[in-house]
Structure 1
Amino acid sequence: MPPEIGRVALGWATFLVLASVVLLFTLTPGTPEFVITLFTLCLGLLLGLIVVAGVVLTRRREKREDG
C-alpha cells in the first residue's frame, strides 16, 4: 500500500470516528440520527482497521523480501 493512500485513508477514518463520537454525545438514543451516527462510527473504525492491517501486511512482506 503506498504511504500516501494509507495516510489519507487513516485521516478519513480518524475524522469519521472523532466526528461520530462527538455527535453521539449530543444525540438522543433511539433516534434515526443516532443510529446513522453509530453506523458512521462503525465504518470509521472498520476503515481504520483495514488501513492498519494493510500497513502491517505491507511491512511483513517488505521484511521477507529484504531478509
Structure 2
Amino acid sequence: VDEIKAKDRTIFALEKELETATGFVQKLQLQKDALDEQLFLVKEAECNLGSPKREIPGRAGDGAEHCGSP
C-alpha cells in the first residue's frame, strides 16, 4: 500500500512538471508566432517603400534583401 502511495505521489509530481513544461512551450510558441508576424510585416513594409535597398553588413546573400522571399 505504501509503495502504491509513493508511486501515486511520483506520478502526480511528474504530471505537474509536465503541465508546467507544456505551458512554457505554449508560451514560447506564441512568442515565436508573434515575432514571425512582426518580421513578415517589417519585410513587407520594406518592400513597399520602393526605395533602393541598403546593404546590411553580414547579411549579403541571405535572401533577406529580396521582396517576396520567405
What is the TM-score normalised by the length of structure 1?
0.55
Matched, 1:36 2:18: yes
Gaps of 5+ in 2: 1-11, 50-70
Match of 1:65 among 17, 27, 47: 47
What is the Cα deviation at residue 59 of structure 1?
0.1
What is the Cα deviation at residue 48 of structure 1?
0.3
Residue 47 of structure 2 aligns to a residue whose secondary structure is: helix
The two structures, once aligned, show a CA RMSD in angstroms of 1.2
Q: Which has the higher contact order (CA 8 A, sep 6+)?
A: 1
Structure 1 counterpart of 2:58: none
- CA distance in 2 between counterparts of 1:32 and 1:61 reads 43
Aligned residues: 38
One-letter code aligned to 1:55? E
Gaps of 5+ in 1: 1-29
One-letter code aligned to 1:32? L
Which structure has the bigger radius of gyration?
Answer: 2
